[in-house]
Amino acid sequence: MFKILKKVSLNPTVTRMDIYAPAVAKKAQPGQFIILRVDSEGERIPLTIADYDREKGSVTIIYQIVGATTALLDRKAEGEYISDFVGPLGKPTETEGLKKVAVVGGGVGCAIAYPVAKKLHEQGAEVHTIAGFRTKDLVILEDEFRAVSDKLVMMTDDGSYGEKGLVTNALKALLDSGEQYDEVIAIGPLIMMKFVSALTKEYGVKTVVSMNPIMIDGTGMCGGCRLTVGGEVKFACVDGPDFDGHLVDFDEAMDRVSMYKSFEKHEYEKTCNLFKKAE
């Protein structure tokens, strides 16, 4: 059993939890993920490691309440326990040797982008972060990003906070101003990563994307996270989750993700109805 040390609501649908898991915290690296079960009867879900504290033995996860399991997880309070917490899994994000990087995060994907930006900062790299959200109410981790970024651009689709527009607008402006990056690291919705990759390809800038949005099982057994990269079949959970954004077939990946949305919505609604009846 794994104790919930801290629980904080970041916005109406996104929550941060610190879990006591010293064995995972000891080896965790940015870009990796864990698999958890809320209880012994629950499904296994992968969640990316948002931060870790090796001294305290804690691992931070940030999740959006979108399905039955995240709804069940969000019912847990500080001091309570979850059944299983396994990791770290997947390959860490490669940051060695990078001197200047643009980290682009979209929505809850910023939770994954933050530890990458933090590690780059700790290694002495110049970090320019672009964080995009639909609206002001959904902004998360601004203070954390500001602490590890040499330049931070906040974007909202509706202009209610920061600059109005998409993350690609901000990235294009930086590139057009003469900024030269060793690499762009983009993490967020598939459609966002697709257009970031399309933009950087025009400028000839190496781009890495995190394909964790398509993971399900997290071990390669279910095959739900397979994708095509440079004409070859890969599995996001064991071959990634990081891949060359210029080689990923995003359209195929988005088609695969859409296959599960109706099932996920049904299970979420069923779970919420059970909560209401219990109350």
Q: What is the mean pLDDT of residues 104-113?
A: 93
Q: What is the mean pLDDT of residues 85-98?
A: 91
Q: Which two tokens stand for residue 275?
A: 């909560």
Band (pLDDT 50/70/90 cuts) for residue 191 is very high
Q: What is the mean pLDDT of residues 195-210?
A: 96
Q: Flag whether pLDDT at 273 surpasses 70.
A: no
67: domain range? 2-89
Same structural domain, 17 and 139: no
**Higher model confidence: residue 47 or residue 185?**
185
Tell me whether strands 151-156 and 183-187 are parallel, antiparallel or unpaired: unpaired
Instruction: Let me know if residue 275 belongs to a domain.
Output: no
Same structural domain, 81 and 163: no
What does the pLDDT read at residue 258? 60
Q: Flag whether pLDDT at 219 surpasses 80.
A: no
pLDDT tens-digit series, residues 59-83: 999 999 887 888 999 999 999 999 9
Instruction: Let me know if residue 279 belongs to a domain.
Output: no
Q: What is the mean pLDDT of residues 5-9?
A: 95
Band (pLDDT 50/70/90 cuts) for residue 264 is very low
Same structural domain, 70 and 110: no
Q: Flag whether pLDDT at 225 surpasses 80.
A: no
**Spatial separation of the C-alpha atoms in residues 269 and 33, rounded to whole Å:** 26
Detail the DSSP E strand segments found in the chain.
Answer: 2-11, 14-20, 33-37, 45-53, 58-64, 81-82, 84-89, 100-106, 126-133, 151-156, 163-164, 183-187, 207-210, 226-229, 232-235, 242-244
Same structural domain, 74 and 104: no
Q: Which two tokens stand for residue 108?
A: 């809850």
CATH number for the domain harbouring residue 12: 2.40.30.10
φ/ψ of 199, rounded to 5, equals -65, -50
Left if phi > 0, otherwise alpha if psi is -120 to 50, otherwise beta: which for 188?
A: left
Q: Flag whether pLDDT at 183 surpasses 80.
A: yes
**Spatial separation of the C-alpha atoms in residues 235 and 228, rounded to whole Å:** 9
Instruction: Let me know if residue 83 belongs to a domain.
Output: yes
**Higher model confidence: residue 103 or residue 232?**
103
Q: Flag whether pLDDT at 262 surpasses 90.
A: no
Same structural domain, 109 and 220: yes
What does the pLDDT read at residue 267? 43
Beta bridge partners of 33: 48, 89
Same structural domain, 121 and 248: yes
Cβ atoms of 51 and 115 within 8 Å: the answer is yes
The tally of domains found in the chain comes to 2
Same structural domain, 124 and 240: yes
Going by C-alpha positions, the residue among 114, 115, 49, 54 that lies closest to residue 86 is 49
pTM for this structure?
0.85
Domain boundary pick from 38, 62, 89: 89
Same structural domain, 85 and 158: no
Instruction: Let me know if residue 273 belongs to a domain.
Output: no
Q: Flag whether pLDDT at 270 surpasses 50.
A: no
Q: Please state, for a pLDDT cut of 70, what percent of the chain lies above it.
A: 87
Q: Please state, for a pLDDT cut of 90, what percent of the chain lies above it.
A: 65
Same structural domain, 169 and 221: yes
The whole-chain average pLDDT of the chain stands at: 87
Cβ atoms of 155 and 163 within 8 Å: the answer is yes
Same structural domain, 68 and 106: no
Instruction: Let me know if residue 221 belongs to a domain.
Output: yes
CATH number for the domain harbouring residue 122: 3.40.50.80
